[in-house]
Amino acid sequence: MLSPVVFAFFGYFLILLAIGLYFGQKQTSTTDFFVGNRSLNFWLTALNAHASDMSAWIFMAFPAAFYMGGAPKSWIALGLILGMFLNWQFVAQKLRLETERYGTCTLSTYFEKRFQDNSGILRIVTSLVSVFFLTAYLSAGMIAMGHLFYSIFEVNYYLGLGVATLSVIIYIFYGGFATVAWTDFFQGIFLLFMIILVPIVALYQIDSWHAIEVAAQNRNLSLEIIPDFSIDSFLNILFLASWGLGYLGQPHIITKFMGIKNADEIYKSKYLGMTWQIIALGAAGLAGLASIAYFPEELEHPESVFVELVKQLFTPGFGGVILCAIIAANISTMGSQILVCASSLSEDFYKYAFKKEVHPSQQLKVSRFSAVLVGCFSLFLAFNQSNTIMGVVKYAWDGLGSSFGPLVLLSLYSTQVNRYGAIAGVTVGGALAASWPILNPYLISFPVTSMIPAFLCSISTIYIVSIATNKTLQTTPHQSVGPQ
């Protein structure tokens, strides 16, 4: 007999597939497939952007960070909140207007037209960097999915990966951006409710904060946001808070801004989305702290701490529904990342290779099969289970943020930048972020997150190379409407 958990899981996936099939009937062009024909309302845009951001990471790696490191890990959340606010405030509306003005639906084609690069080099470089780091990001989500299937259903890791990947590919293949948007909306509400419920029940069961304090003291964990005033402590705070910089360059998040129908309503999306993010991060962190009391002996697999907490607190049937929220979070991000990679392959490689107009129906087919190709390749990478979810996500997050964040900002706010600076900046940022884990021990005696040196080197390179080459090439003055 099938368990209640299995019924909950398959019921959930049937809903996703129904959404995919429904919106698949509405896709007639790549603009529909990649940005939903810029027709989304403000509340759909808000939850679309935030739910696609918070993958299984918010249920697995983030609570595990608190469980293993205590309250000082709050700086990750504070950095993310500030970074996303700045993204809404200074990037969202301007990028939405500029991409429409240039008639583009991917970052690579926007950069190419913005900097008048007829050589195609900028398009190819940004596409390669995007696909490289996003496939790493996708593999992290799939690793999480494999562990989830094993923890929840006790099925083989590889079988779980295959089932999850197939489900995501099917609804992306048929529905594209609109499917991701509506499933993100559905999952965003579902996810938020579940992630609030777990720490509330957990704190009620342990009866007092004192139990957490005792368990934390036994494991030598601090429950203070600033554990001490040493230089090492402040450097650690800086590195944790630097997560927020990455928001400026995450293609699977900032492309969500392109889909809103009315750019003047971006400010509504901002406040709705930020409220969602603050509550979700706060609840997930609290679940991690509560787990210190529930599991005083360190778990063998700390990144499964939220799953184990749910198993402790709820009946199998209701627990299965809650654990579906974790799968929901992961699928939201996986779908968005597959869509961005597919857009790079079809819009930035396929069309450029043919150098001619492609019929919309043919381009749509290429876009859909690109999504299948990306999903299968990421599945292959996920077969290697050796890395932690947090480690792989951080690597990809830093790489994308350092490569694209500086150029996105300068493309919207500077008239001094040209195509030479753009190409050099993306190349330096991506290469340094990718190689920094190897270079760090040879350059500095203590570990430094790659976001800081790579972001600073990228933005400096863009300016220096642009100024040095401006006698050869001058960019066209750039005007945009300011943010709300």
Tens of pLDDT, residue by residue over 207-261, are: 778 899 999 999 999 999 998 888 888 988 999 999 999 999 998 888 888 878 8
pLDDT of residue 320: 76
pLDDT of residue 479: 46
Residue 115 CB neighbour total at 10 angstroms: 22
pLDDT of residue 32: 46
Side-chain-side CA neighbours of 192 within 13 Å: the count stands at: 17
pLDDT of residue 469: 92
Identify the residue whose tokens are 């990679």.
Answer: 341
pLDDT of residue 299: 87
CA distance 239 to 249: 17
CA distance 279 to 115: 39
Q: Spell out, as residue ranges, where the chain has pLDDT lower than 70.
A: 1-6, 8-10, 12-13, 16-17, 19-39, 41, 52, 55, 167, 170-184, 325, 328-329, 332-333, 335-336, 347-368, 381, 384-387, 471-484
| Cα torsion through 343, 347, 349, 351, rounded to 10 | 160
Whether this prediction's pTM lies above 0.85 is answered by no
Q: Which domains does the chain have, with CATH numbers?
A: 4-390 (1.20.1730.10)
pLDDT of residue 82: 96
pLDDT of residue 42: 80
3-state secondary structure (DSSP) of residue 266: helix
Q: Any residues with CB less than 8 A from the CB of 64 and at least 6 apart, and which?
A: 288, 302, 303, 305, 306, 390
Where b means 16+ CB within 10 Å and e means fewer, 150-167 reads bbbbeeebeebbbbbbeb
pLDDT of residue 24: 54
pLDDT of residue 29: 46
